[in-house]
Amino acid sequence: MFATQPQLAVPLSYLRTVDGVLQIGGKSMQQIADLLSQQRFYAYDRQAISMKIHQLRSKMPAQLKLHYAIKANPYLPVVQHVGTLVDGFDVASQGELLLALQTGMQALQISFAGPGKTDTELLAAMTAGCCVHVESAGELQRLCGIATQSGQTATIALRVNPEFELKAAGMKMAGGAKAFGIDQQQVFELLPKLAAMPVKLVGFHLYCGSQNLQAEAILQTQQQIIHLLQQLLPLCPASLQFVNLGGGLGVPYYTSDRAVDLELLAAGWTQLFEQLPADLQHLEFILELGRYLVAEAGVYACKVVDIKQSHAQTFVVCNGGMHHHLANSGNFGQVIRRNYPVAFADKLDQPLVAPVQVAGPLCTPLDVLADKIQLPQAAVGDWFVVFQSGAYGATASPQAFLGHGAVAEILL
């Protein structure tokens, strides 16, 4: 465990240290850099991912299945590994669809959601045998036209934008005017018309929000989904098979955050499914998670290349930054920038000194790796790491900005 730092919201017990040196998959940052011939990289711990998923699944009732949202981390080795531990994938583009199919996951266990699907994407998903999660009446109309023209029947789920929202969510995606899903009232009007369309309705999708650390809010929303399903069910065909409850489980990034209470969730899920109405008991319920499964298993690493003083303030300048890790810079939807947990990877047992600014190489003041953070005494050549970096990292960042080059990735 870490002696004095970094300042973590929860202990990362699966990340090992040897004599104050951080290891991922049994290797130090320098050893990983030598493997990659690259000084800026994301390293993901295979065992940490497995532990996280096994811990969650041990709390889930049998009726609740687990899907991985590939957008959180689409690095192929990560997706392949996660695919051996979950029941299905959720994708939001043709690129992610091809990635999911490449892992060998059965097409029936892959759902394609997201607004703005192109005709090419709709045809690809339908032809592959995946379930298309329809986001609007217009998308349904286009899908029907494509199905008729190609002589196929499209397997679909309707994504519902309910009247309620997920309270305390870091990002709300339902309730009120939204680009996602079909408004609740419109779904009631649409269901009776499906029988005349070349589609097979097999499910509903209600993704209300993400990055939520309050178990009570998550359970309340899931209970509201159950009540809505009871109203929708009389209008549904016998082919209905599943309900995607969305996800919402967040991870703690900041020292003030507290991890979502898994024991409370487990108790709530047990009660929810024990009291499940009889007319819903034949359905499969899906928990769709991305960040929660992989974020804590990854670190972003770069090297200190310069240390300077400016108006009595110390700046530690690294060769990696915002172009590789946009979320850490505070420019990925955050209202107020706060520091992710960070450290010098080879100095985890050394005492902290006066606060410093840690900056990246970009010519913009937005390129901040850590702001007024206490770290051990810095030296050129130190490995600087950002924890909680296994999700929304490499592919969620503007890597081409200013031509500094791409970041490497590795699963160990």
Q: Is the peptide bond before 341 cis (omega within 30 degrees of 0)?
A: no
The closest of 172, 87, 105 to 96, measured between CA atoms, is 105
**DSSP labels, 59-78:** TS-TTEEEEEEGGG---HHH
CB 64 within 8 A of CB 270: no
d(C-alpha 360, C-alpha 122), whole Å:
40
At 186, give phi and psi (nearest 5°).
-65, -30
The closest of 388, 257, 252, 375 to 325, measured between CA atoms, is 388
Output the CA torsion 134→140→143→147 (10° steps): 110
Q: Where in the chain is the domain with CATH 3.20.20.10?
A: 106-289
d(C-alpha 327, C-alpha 268), whole Å:
32
In a 10 Å sphere around its CB, with 0-12 CB exposed, 13-18 middle and 19+ buried, how is residue 97 labelled?
buried
The one-digit pLDDT tens for each residue of the chain (412 residues) are 444 445 554 445 557 888 889 999 999 999 999 999 999 999 999 999 999 999 999 999 999 999 999 999 999 999 999 999 999 999 999 999 999 999 999 999 999 999 999 999 999 999 999 999 999 999 999 999 999 999 999 999 999 988 755 444 444 444 455 566 899 899 999 999 999 999 999 999 997 667 788 899 899 989 999 999 999 999 998 889 999 998 889 888 888 888 889 999 999 999 999 999 999 999 999 999 999 999 999 999 999 999 999 999 999 999 999 999 999 998 776 656 789 999 999 999 999 998 999 999 999 999 999 999 999 999 999 999 999 999 999 999 999 999 998 999 999 9
d(C-alpha 22, C-alpha 34), whole Å:
15
Query: Domain 106-289: which topology?
Result: TIM Barrel (3.20.20)
2-39: pLDDT as tens digits: 444 455 544 455 578 888 899 999 999 999 999 999 99
CATH classification for the domain delimited by 16-45+297-411, as one of 3.40.50.1970, 3.10.180.10, 3.40.50.300, 2.40.37.10: 2.40.37.10
d(C-alpha 90, C-alpha 13), whole Å:
29
Longest dimension (CA), the chain: 73
pTM of the model: 0.92
Contacts 24+ apart (CB under 8 A), 231-234: 231/188, 232/160, 232/187, 232/188, 232/191, 232/204, 233/279, 233/280
Length of the chain in residues, anyone?
Answer: 412
| 221 three-class SS | helix
d(C-alpha 364, C-alpha 331), whole Å:
12
pLDDT score recorded for residue 115:
93
d(C-alpha 47, C-alpha 18), whole Å:
17
Question: What is the per-residue burial (b if ≥16 Cβ within 10 Å, else e) of 319-328?
Answer: bbbbbbbbbb
| 358 three-class SS | strand
365-407: pLDDT as tens digits: 999 999 999 999 999 999 999 999 999 999 999 999 999 989 9
d(C-alpha 23, C-alpha 407), whole Å:
19
- What letter does residue 24 receive in the DSSP assignment? B
d(C-alpha 173, C-alpha 206), whole Å:
9
Q: Where in the chain is the domain with CATH 2.40.37.10?
A: 16-45+297-411
